[in-house]
Chain A
Amino acid sequence: MIPLSWYLIFAAALFCTGLFGVLARKNSIAILMGIELMLNSVNVNLVAFWRYRTPETITGQVFAIIVFAVAAAEVAVGLALFISIYRRRNTVVADEINLLKW
């Protein structure tokens, strides 16, 4: 049997890895990949809590599915923004995208 704590520690470590990616990476698309890691670790937590604490109701899995949908929407809009910025400014480095209008 796998203890619940293993899942929680794993998810915390993956979340912190993603957080480091978001804070440290230069390229906007790499930042988006860090956000994906963070969303996934939260999903692992949700499903682990569902399985260990309330397996008779399905709420945890429903929450995870909604997170999937939001993540898909976020990636689609985010990447469209980066491609649009790249076309206008010829860069996707987050430090250089510092003007709201050009």
Chain B
Amino acid sequence: MTAVQIIFLLVAAATLGAGLLVVTAHNLIHAALWLVVSLFGIAVLYVLLNAGFLAVAQVVIYIGAIAILVIFAIMLTRKVAADSGPQTNSNWGWGAALAAALFGALFWIFQGWPGINTALQPLSESQDTVVQLGQALLAPDEYLLVFEVASVLLLAALIGSIMIARVRKDS
């Protein structure tokens, strides 16, 4: 077993453990902090997959923005987060069964797929994925339209969340 494989197994185990704590932790603040650990583990996996830009974006967007936003929302709705009752609804057994069944089904599909044994080809020396990614996102014959639609979506989400969350004077 090589060093990279050991790193992968350690990171994957930490990420999955943190993920399990996210969905089971009693205190919501703790769950949000475990979410940060889990997201960081995924950033490490991006580095192992030669996707450096995505790893940085993961840390900046997910950990820096989304996780902090979640923690803010938990604190703003604190009265519920401090509840001492059970944090799962009455159907949690069905949820666990469905999740386990889905995992089993996916595992079974992987067994039958011949592409599962694709060998890892080293990236060619001349290939700079960050340059390639930037050019692909801004080239009109590639993904420029998708990129612009994403910016419009983010603007719409920004305006929408301000409109939804603001305090109306008349009510």
- Residue from the list B23, B46, B69, B136 in contact with A34, Cβ < 8 A: B23
Cβ contact within 8 Å between A79 and B69: yes
Binary CB contact string for chain B from 1 to 36 against chain A (1 if under 8 A, 0 otherwise): 010110010001001100110110000100110010
Q: CB-CB < 8 A to B66: which residues of A?
A: 36, 71-72, 75
Within 97-147 of B, Cβ neighbours of A (below 8 Å) are at 98-100, 102-103, 106-107, 110, 115-121, 123, 127, 129, 132-133, 136-137, 142-143, 146
Taking CB atoms, residues of chain B closer than 8 Å to A64 are 51, 54
Q: B164: nearest residue on chain A (CB-CB)?
A: A80
Q: Chain A: which residue is nearest B4 at the CB level?
A: A2
| A residues in contact with B65, CB < 8 Å | 72
Residues of A at the B interface (CB closer than 8 Å) are: 1-10, 12-27, 29-30, 32-34, 36-37, 40, 43-44, 47-48, 50-53, 55-56, 58-59, 61-62, 64-66, 68-77, 79-84, 86-87, 90-95
User: Taking CB as reference atom, which chain A residue is nearest B171?
Assistant: A88
**Please, could you name 20 A-B residue pairs with CB atoms under 8 Å apart, sorted by A?**
A5-B110, A13-B103, A14-B38, A16-B102, A18-B23, A19-B95, A21-B23, A22-B95, A23-B95, A29-B77, A29-B81, A33-B32, A34-B23, A51-B51, A53-B118, A75-B69, A80-B160, A83-B77, A87-B167, A92-B77
Inter-chain contacts of A86 with B (CB < 8 A):
76-77, 80
CB distance from B25 to the nearest CB of A (A): 9
With A20-B23, A50-B49 known, 20 other A-B pairs at CB within 8 A are A4-B117, A10-B15, A12-B102, A12-B107, A19-B102, A23-B94, A25-B87, A27-B87, A34-B23, A36-B39, A37-B22, A47-B49, A47-B54, A51-B50, A51-B51, A53-B115, A72-B157, A75-B69, A83-B165, A92-B77
Cα distance A7–B51 in the bound complex, in angstroms: 14
CB-based contact A84/B164 at 8 Å: yes
List A contacts of B120 (CB < 8 A): 1-2, 4, 51-52
Complex-state Cα separation, A36 to B120, whole angstroms: 28
A86 to chain B: closest CB distance in Å?
5
Shortest Cβ distance from residue A35 to the other chain B in the assembled complex, whole angstroms: 11
The reply to whether the CB of B88 lies closer than 8 angstroms to some CB of chain A is yes
Q: In the complex, what residues of A have CB within 8 A of residue B116's CB?
A: 3-5, 8
Docked-complex contact B80 and A92, CB < 8 angstroms: yes
Among A20, A37, A81, max chain B CB count under 10 A is at: A20
Q: Smallest CB–CB gap between A26 and chain B, Å?
A: 5
The answer to whether A65 and B137 touch across the interface, beta carbons within 8 angstroms, is: yes
